[in-house]
Structure 1
């Protein structure tokens, strides 16, 4: 059975793992109601609309 002759250094180990640690910016879409940026497939935090419908009731209406 193969056994490593020397211990793997932290630099060698981390350089192998580094390509998997890249951060990717989230995709941004524009809300068709208020034209503010929002995350896709989520309720708009500004106007509370999703798919052309008001999903959350505003405090002013309640």
Structure 2
């Protein structure tokens, strides 16, 4: 069985563990109709369009 030769310091151990829990900021893309930022692969909350088609009717 493999056994570590030296004790791993708490700082080194914590550095390794901390990278696992980092969250990424969500990616945004511009709506083709209105140019607002929206989440990719979702209906635009501003104008209601998805892939050039009106999915949700929004009043202007």
Runs of 4+ in 1 over 4 A off after TM superposition: none
Question: Paired residue for 2:29?
Answer: 29
Gaps of 5+ in 2: 1-9
Number of paired residues? Answer: 48
TM-score (norm 2): 0.67
TM-score (norm 1): 0.65
Gaps of 5+ in 1: 1-10
Aligned equivalents of 1:51 and 1:26: distance in 2?
20
